[in-house]
Structures are given as structure tokens and as C-alpha cells.
Structure 1
């Protein structure tokens, strides 16, 4: 059996564009610039540092004492010996006053008064540690400054600007087309 069949062939329309780009030209001349920096005002004031070294005690430790210190020490030692002698005599007088109690105070006091006490042995560092006194006062520094502002002179130059506008032309490059045809097709049933 033959059935008619319709065939359609179409061609789309096509638009053509022709463009001319815009031309943009910008030139920026450099600015005229002048900068001047005045010097800052600066003043510096210092106080001297002070170092004091006191070696009086170290000199005394190696027996290099001043006359005034020797006199003072001798007077102090004499006064201390006086007090010790008074205390010893008072104690011995009390012992003799109570002679009726047991013991032999006269013989004991004779031994005590007849023999000097044993000297103690000891190790001593000369001069003693910390006998030299050092005092240091650091220097004081005062710095005053006054900055000066810069002198800036700027002249701005305007840009040089040139512009050509672009252009677009639109045209029909190909027309649309439709072809219709008939054909008999054989279909087997």
C-alpha cells in the first residue's frame, strides 16, 4: 500500500553583522610634584652617671684603718672589757659569799683567773665578702625633637582623551526558504 508523505526542507534566515570597534585613547601626563622636607629640630641633654666605691670596710679587714676608726674601736673594746670584768668580779664575789655551800670556789677562781682562755681557731676570708660597697647612678638622657612638616607642591595635569565611536551594520545575509515536496511511500502491512 502506498501512502503519500509530505517532506518539508527549510533554511533559516541568517543575519550578518559588520562591526567597527570603538577607538578610545587616553594619555595621562605625569603630575608636576615638588617635595621639600625641612630638618627636624633636635636637642639632647644628659646628666653624668655617678659611680661611688666605698672600700672602707675592705681596708679595715686587712688592718688598714684610719686613726679615727682605730680610736673608736679601742674605746669600744675597753668599755666591753670593763663590763666583762665587772660581771666576772660580781659573779666571783657571789660565789665567795656563799662559800658555805658545797664546792671549792677559791680553787676554781684561782684556776679561772690564772689561765687565759683557749683561742678559737676559725677560717676567715680577708677582706670579707660584700665589704666593698658599689653604688651606680646611670646617666639621664633627655631627647626633645620637633618634626617639621614637609612642603609639598602638586600640579595635576589633565588627561588627553580621544574617542572614536564604534559602528554596527546589520544586514540580511541569507533569506529563509521552505521547500515542500510530496512522495509516495510503500508501507507493507
Structure 2
């Protein structure tokens, strides 16, 4: 007994596909940023130093004195010299009075004249420092400086921009060039 055979023939489908690829564009704009740094606040307070120099004694040592003090000094010197002159004349008068009538003749007058007009020896020589040491008095009060510093925080302003996203989806179109087919034959 012979069995029938089945013969199957297939024809594949043939397609013509038109494929448009998807398009995507992504752009990220830069953020806008501003940074500002305010200047720090600097406050400086100073009190001045005081320097006091008293040179009045040094000026006196050099002979530089004011008119009132100069007049007073000359009056004192005049008074001393007049008292010294009166004492000398009283002494000379006493010498003349004590030697009068003792047959000395002119001898007392000559001795008085020698006392007043003889060669005088200068006083001892010495070195003198003008102005005297320590005659200038200096007093200094130092000043003071206070510094206050206040830093300022920076001002930062950021504007973030959203990304720009453009998307065109892809597309597939197709036309069938050959239809699929299945043929079945029975051979018997």
C-alpha cells in the first residue's frame, strides 16, 4: 500500500521597507551666573600720639630767654651789683676812717686803689656743656589704632536653563512586492 505524499511549497513574502530613522536633538544652554563680592567693611580709628618737648631750660642755658624773665634777671643782677658796690664803698670808707690821723699820708688811698685796679687773675678754666645735660625734657604718650574688619558674603545668582529637547520619531513604511504563498500538493 502506497501512502500519499504531501508536497508543500512556500513562497516567502518580499517587502520593500522605507525606514526613516528617529531624530533627537538635545541642547543644554549654559546657566546664567552672576557673582558679586561686596567689599569688606574696614573701620580704622586712631588716636594721635602726643609728643611734648620742653626746651625752656636749654634755651635759658643758651641765653635765649623771654623779655619778662630777662628784665627780672637784669633787675636781680643790678640789685646784687649795687649791694656789692655799697658794701665795697663802706669797706673802703671804714679803712680810710681807721687809718686817718696815724701819719700814714696817702698810703690808705694807694692800698685802696691797688685793690680796685690791680691785675686780676681769671677764674679757673673748665669745660661747660651748653645746654646742660637733661635740660630738654621729652614726654611721649603713644597713640592707639583700632582696626575693625567685617567681611561681606559673596552674592551668587544662578539661573538654570532647562535643556532643549527636540525629538522626531522614526517611521517605517513598506510595500509588499511579493505576497506569501503556501501550495500543498498531494501526490498519490
- Bigger radius of gyration, 1 or 2? 2
The answer to whether the superposition gives a TM-score over 0.5 is no
Give the TM-score category using the shorter length: 0.3 to 0.5
TM-score for both structures, normalised by structure 2: 0.41
